[in-house]
Structure 1
Amino acid sequence: MQSVYESAGGHDGLMRLAGAWHHRVLADEVVSHAFSHGYRDDHTERLAVYWGEALGGPASGIAESDVVRMHSGNGPHDDMDQRAIACFDQALTDAGLTEEPLRTTLHDYFAWATTTTMNRYHHSADDVPAGLPIPRWSWDGLTPPS
């Protein structure tokens, strides 16, 4: 059976998805606030590579603790999270990733990551421990660390 990564089109498919999502969140009046401080020129590429590792692709070399820390210390922002998930769902269509069960699996991954992993340390980025592994997601959901 193909991994979620392979079924999404590998790196190219996730680049399309990351590009579509980034375009949508920058246009969203609420979610765009998260990018108001600026972002790396290679944000879309790094996002695609990060998602790729999480979904069964090659190692990204990106440190999970750094990613979580970047999303931490901003207090609860449930409305922003829900809007980011809605942007992701629209980006799936934009990127042509509409076949089931792939669409639902990708939605479930993004919704889970947005509302748990990236939201766990909303009080302070200093609370994020070093050495967190990138959570892995399969067709069956969250995969226990090996």
Structure 2
Amino acid sequence: MVCCIRFDDFDWGPDMESVYEAAGGSEGLIRLAAAWHSRVMADEIVSHAFSHGFHPQHTERLAAYWAEALGGPTTYSDTYGDESSVVRIHSGNGPHEEMDRRAITCFDQALQDVGLVAEPLRQVLYDYFAWATTVSMTQYTGAADDVPLGLRIPRWSWDGLQS
């Protein structure tokens, strides 16, 4: 007998240890990052952010970043960099509210694409991405050199931003 597990078969509520686990762990976030990246590259406005190119392992790195932010392993910080390095990549481009709104829409669509639609998980992931896009990544719209050293990746839980 072959059995399969669907996202809809789980109780995605706050009883789970972390948002990371509820989202399917590393594999779930890699699927989400790939779906988001695909949607972004198809968007005429958001794809502009990638017009200079991107790292060949962008999807894996993005998934590792999200994993750490959502209560998973610290692979991103241990391997790729800290929050300062991530914020620098997103800094020095001036305000871009329309691009941010469209990136958030792409994320919401990507959640649907990979089946992460059960509440409250979908809302928690959406809220995290919207906050990261419009607050965390837009703190330094001037020069990337304005970003302070040593920032740590913010942690997000079922209750939102953790202090």
TM-score, L = length of structure 1? 0.97
Aligned residue type for 2:61:
R
Determine the structure 2 residue equivalent to 1:134. Answer: 153
User: C-alpha offsets along residues 88-130 of structure 1, whole Å, 9 cap, x if unaligned?
Assistant: 0000001110100000000000000000110000011010000
Alignment of 1:105-124 (within 5 A): 105-124=124-143
Alignment of 1:1-146 (within 5 A): 1-2=15-16, 3-60=18-75, 61=78, 62-144=81-163
Q: How many angstroms apart in 1 are the aligned matches of 2:54 and 2:115?
A: 26
Determine which structure has more spread, i.e. the larger CA radius of gyration.
2
Q: How many angstroms apart in 1 are the aligned matches of 2:140 and 2:25?
A: 30
Q: How many angstroms apart in 2 are the aligned matches of 1:43 and 1:16?
A: 12
User: Unaligned regions of 5+ residues in structure 1, if any?
Assistant: none
Q: How many angstroms apart in 2 are the aligned matches of 1:13 and 1:124?
A: 34
Does the residue aligned with 2:141 lie in a helix, a strand or coil?
Answer: coil
TM-score, L = length of structure 2? 0.87
What is the root-mean-square deviation in Å for CA atoms of aligned residues?
Answer: 0.6
In the alignment of these two chains, the number of paired residues is 144
Aligned residue type for 1:95:
V
User: Unaligned regions of 5+ residues in structure 2, if any?
Assistant: 1-14
